[in-house]
Amino acid sequence: MIKSLLDFLFENTCKYCGKAFSPQEQGYLCPSCLSSIEKHEFFEDLPEIPSVDGYEFFTKYEGVARELILLYKFHSVKPFSKVIAEKIREDFSNFVNEVNPDIVTYVPVHFFRWWTRGYDHNEEVMKHLNLPYRKILKRVRYSRPLARYKKEEREKRLRSAYKVVESCKVAGKSVLVYDDILTTGSTAREVAQTLKNAGATEVYFYFFLKES
Ligand SMILES: [Zn+2]
C-alpha cells in the first residue's frame, strides 16, 4: 500500500512516450527517450551561413530532442542544461579541437528574457560543459521569440541585436560560438557579423539542434 502510494507520488509520465518512470533530476522525459538522442549521421555538405566560417551541430530538431528543447526553453526545466551538455560534450570538444578557437562563447539572451526565465539557457549548458568559455556578447535589442517570423522579418528584428562586451578584445581572435538551434541562420549571421566588425578573424558555430 505504502509502496504503491510512493510509486504514485514519485513516478512521472514521460511527456514523449507516455510511459511511467521514476524521475532522477527531472520528471519530464524518461531515460530511454533521452538515450535515443544521438549524434546525427549527416554526409551532405552543410548550407553556408554568411560570415560564418564553419559550423557543426549535434542532431536534428525533431522527436525527443525537439521536445527536450521546448521544455528547456519555454517551460524552464533547468536540469535539461546538464542533459544537453552531457549529450554534446564529446562532439563539442572534438569541434573545439578541430577549429582551435582563441575564445569559446555562446549566444546570450536579452536581460529581460534572462529575468523572466531566471537563467540564460545557453550559458547553463556552457557551465556544464566544463570547458573554458567567456561571455563576450550582449543582447542589446529585445525581440519576441523569432520562430513566428519569416526570414526577412527575423533579419530586421536581429539587426544590431548583439554587441561585443566592451572590455573583451576580439580583434585578431578566432571565436567559436554555441547556440541551441539553427533555424534560418539569421542569428548566427548577425552574431558573426558583429564579431567580425569588432575585428574577429574567424567565427565558428556549434548548435545542439538543426532544423531541416
Ligand atoms: Zn519516454
Give residue limits of the domains in the chain: 1-36, 39-210
| 15 CA → ligand 1 middle, Å | 7
The per-residue pLDDT for range 92-139, each reduced to its tens digit, is 999 999 999 999 999 998 887 788 888 899 999 999 999 999 999 999
Averaged over 137-165, what is the pLDDT? 79
Q: What is the pLDDT of residue 1?
A: 57
| pLDDT, position 114 | 81
Distance of CA 65 from the midpoint of ligand 1 (Å)? 12
d(CA 140, CA 199): 19
CA 24 to chain centroid: 23
Most confident of the ranges 51-55, 72-76, 136-140: 51-55
What is the whole-number distance in angstroms between the Cα of residue 27 and the centre of ligand 1? Answer: 10
**C-alpha 11 to ligand 1 mean position (Å):** 12
Q: What percent of the chain lies above the pLDDT cut of 90?
A: 68
- C-alpha 74 to ligand 1 mean position (Å): 19
pLDDT at 14: 95
Read off the pTM.
0.90
Q: Is the pLDDT of residue 2 over 70?
A: no
Is CATH 3.40.50 correct for 39-210? yes
How many Å lie between the centroid of ligand 1 and the Cα of residue 128?
23
Spatial separation of the C-alpha atoms in residues 153 and 148, rounded to whole Å:
10
Ligand 1 centroid–CA 122 distance in Å is 24
pLDDT at 7 exceeding the cut of 70: no
What is the reported pLDDT for 61?
Answer: 95
User: For residue 72, is pLDDT > 90?
Assistant: yes
CA of 34 to the centre of ligand 1 (A): 7
CA of 4 to the centre of ligand 1 (A): 21
Q: How far is the CA of 26 from the centre of ligand 1 (A)?
A: 12
Cell 531515460 sits on residue: 31
- H/E stretch holding 12 reads strand 12-13
pLDDT on residue 190? 94
Give the pLDDT confidence score for residue 3 in this predicted structure.
58
CA 13 – ligand 1 centroid, Å? 8
pLDDT over 70 (residue 49): yes
DSSP conformational letter for 199: T
Q: Residue 94 C-alpha to ligand 1 middle, in angstroms?
A: 29
Distance between CA atoms of 70 and 114, rounded to whole angstroms?
16
pLDDT over 90 (residue 192): yes
pLDDT tens, residue by residue, 33-44 = 999 999 998 767
Ligand 1 centre to CA of 18 (Å) is 6
